[in-house]
Structure 1
Amino acid sequence: MLIDFAKIFGRSKPSKDVAKERLQLVLIHDRANVSPEFLEMVKGEIIKVIQHYMEIDESALDIQLTRTKSEEGDRVVPALIANIPIKNVKNAGK
């Protein structure tokens, strides 16, 4: 019988994945000049709103704050990029 210590201690992700996410947050902070806490707050709010309408796969969720060229192409601006896998749509407009 195998014991899943991650579940017992409330950790659903391997520590290497958690470390990778934390490193990504630090890099994002450096690029966009926002704190990792701010990005986590935005991520939580996005998840909350989307879950009102859809069932999503939070384990595969990827939200990044990066920089990209503006539409005019004359400057670099922050951009929020979200990859949110949808499992099911709730009440599809019914």
Structure 2
Amino acid sequence: MDLLKIFSKNNTNSKTVAKERLKLVLINDRADISPKFIEMLKSDITRVVSEYMVIDEEGFDIKLTRTKRESDDAPIPALVANIPIVKVKDKNIK
């Protein structure tokens, strides 16, 4: 019986991963944002953040996901960026 649990657990993990991937595809379709557009956003965000910080561009990740709106808990798309910061540049603030 333990052997069956192991196999069913792996199926559940694969099922969960596939379900999450499908959700992301649907979010991209509903938001009508192409992968090319997301790459353009990533490029612009990298350029702007790089003016103030040294970032690890290899670790930079941007994706479209889903979150709930605070006012009514309705699901809405959200742009999430993970930007590893190496150091903050020394800028004179006026």
Name the TM tier (shorter chain): 0.5 to 0.7
Q: Counterparts of 2:40 and 2:30 in 1: how far apart (Å)?
A: 18
Counterpart for residue 59 of structure 2:
60
Q: Which runs of 5+ in 1 are unaligned?
A: 1-22
Q: Which runs of 5+ in 2 are unaligned?
A: 1-20
Whose Rg is larger?
Answer: 2
Aligned counterparts, 1:20-59, within 5 A? 27=25, 29-30=28-29, 32-59=31-58
**1:82 offset after TM fit, Å?**
1.1
**1:30 offset after TM fit, Å?**
3.3
TM-score by length of 1: 0.63
Report runs of 4+ in structure 1 exceeding 2 Å deviation.
26-33
Q: Percent identity?
A: 51
Find out whether 1:72 has 2:61 as its counterpart: no
Q: Counterparts of 1:59 and 1:74 in 2: how far apart (Å)?
A: 34
